Amino acid sequence: MFATPAFAQSAGASAPGVAGQILGIAPLVLIFIAFYFLMIRPQQKRMKVLQTALANIKKNDTVVTAGGLVGKVTRVEDRHVEVEIAPNVRVRVVKATIAEVTPLGGKPAND
């Protein structure tokens, strides 16, 4: 009633065979490849570097926690680190919440 016969006949037609299916899936594959190289792979590299730094953390390293506390490591345990955030003020921090590790004698941020 609302569609002409010519429009109704072409509505079910699509590209024939395997070539039409590949052309339909190709944009999704290209988007996934772009996401992998632009987002997933760099994040995996950053996480690997952070995990290595956390495994090698030692006394007198400067750390930044995910909450924004900056301090010097005074004691390292298996899952926790004791951090001095001010003179005679020490807190225990879970290693998983450390966002950045700077070794002793590292270059200052403003140089």
What structural domains and CATH numbers belong to the chain? 57-102 (2.30.30.100)
Q: Which residues pair with 71 in a beta bridge?
A: 63
Predicted TM-score of the model (pTM):
0.66
Mean pLDDT of the chain: 85
Nearest to 61 by CA among 111, 108, 106: 106
Q: Where are the alpha helices (DSSP H) in 36-92?
A: 41-55
Which residue positions in the chain have pLDDT lower than 50? 15
CA distance 94 to 37: 31
- What is the structure's pLDDT at 108? 60
- What is the structure's pLDDT at 96? 93
